[in-house]
Amino acid sequence: MPLERRSWAEPFKIKVVEHVRITTHEQRERAIAEAGYNTFLLRSRDVYIDLLTDSGTGAMSDRQWSGMMLGDEAYAGSESFYRLEAAVRRVYGYTHVIPTHQGRGAENIISRVLIQPGDVVPGNMYFTTTRLHQEMAGARFVDVIIDEAHDSSSEHPFKGDVDLNKLERVFQENPGRVPYVSVAATVNMAGGQPISLANMRAVYELAHRYGVKVILDATRVAENAWFIQQREPGQLGRSVAELVKDLCAASDGCTMSAKKDPIANIGGFLALNDAAIAEAACNLLVVFEGLHTYGGMAGRDMEAVAIGIEESIQDDHIRARIGQVLYLGEKLRKAGVPIVLPIGGHGIFLDARAFLPHVPQEHYPAQALAAALYLDAGIRAMERGIVSAGRDAVTGEERKPKLELVRLTIPRRVYTQAHMDVTAESVCEVFEQRESIRGLRMTFEPKLLRFFQARFEPRQ
Ligand code: F0G
The CATH number of the domain where 447 resides is what?
3.90.1150.10
Q: Are residues 39 and 131 in the same domain?
A: no
Rounded to an integer, the average pLDDT of 44-66 is 98
Q: Which residues contact 217 (CB under 8 A, 6 or more apart)?
A: 103, 127, 130, 182, 183, 184, 185, 254, 255
Among 63-72, 251-260, 387-396, where is mean pLDDT lowest? 387-396
Which residue of 110, 124, 125, 129 sits with most ligand 1 atoms within 8 Å of its CB, as the best mutation to test the pocket?
129
Q: Are residues 101 and 145 in the same domain?
A: yes
How far, in Å, CA of 346 to CA of 342, rounded? 12
Whether omega for the bond prior to residue 342 falls within 30 degrees of 0, making it cis, is yes
In tens, the pLDDT along 208-239 reads: 999 999 999 999 999 999 999 999 999 988 99
Which residue of 182, 188, 269 sits with most ligand 1 atoms within 8 Å of its CB, as the best mutation to test the pocket?
188
Tell which of 280, 312, 344 closes a domain: 312
18 Cα to the center of ligand 1, angstroms: 24
Which residue range forms the structural domain that includes residue 394?
25-54+315-458
Q: Are residues 279 and 348 in the same domain?
A: no
- pLDDT greater than 80 at residue 108: yes
pLDDT value at position 460?
A: 82
Q: Are residues 325 and 240 in the same domain?
A: no
pLDDT value at position 4?
A: 60
Catalytic residues: 75, 127-128, 217, 260, 384, 451
Tell which of 312, 333, 365 closes a domain: 312
In tens, the pLDDT along 109-157 reads: 999 999 999 999 999 999 999 999 999 999 999 999 999 999 998 999 9
- pLDDT greater than 60 at residue 1: no
- Of the pLDDT bands very low, low, confident and very high (cuts 50, 70, 90), residue 3 is low
- Of the pLDDT bands very low, low, confident and very high (cuts 50, 70, 90), residue 393 is confident
pLDDT value at position 443?
A: 97
pLDDT value at position 381?
A: 98
Q: Are residues 273 and 363 in the same domain?
A: no
Q: Are residues 275 and 334 in the same domain?
A: no
Q: Are residues 335 and 244 in the same domain?
A: no
CB 345 within 8 A of CB 329: no
Domain total in the chain: 2
Q: Are residues 308 and 325 in the same domain?
A: no
In tens, the pLDDT along 80-107 reads: 999 999 999 999 999 999 999 999 999 9
Torsion on CA atoms 351, 352, 355, 357, rounded to nearest 10: -120
Tell which of 261, 295, 312 closes a domain: 312
Q: Are residues 248 and 261 in the same domain?
A: yes
- pLDDT greater than 90 at residue 266: yes
308 Cα to the center of ligand 1, angstroms: 17
Q: Are residues 244 and 117 in the same domain?
A: yes
| Structural domain includes residue 85 | yes
pLDDT value at position 437?
A: 98
- pLDDT greater than 60 at residue 422: yes
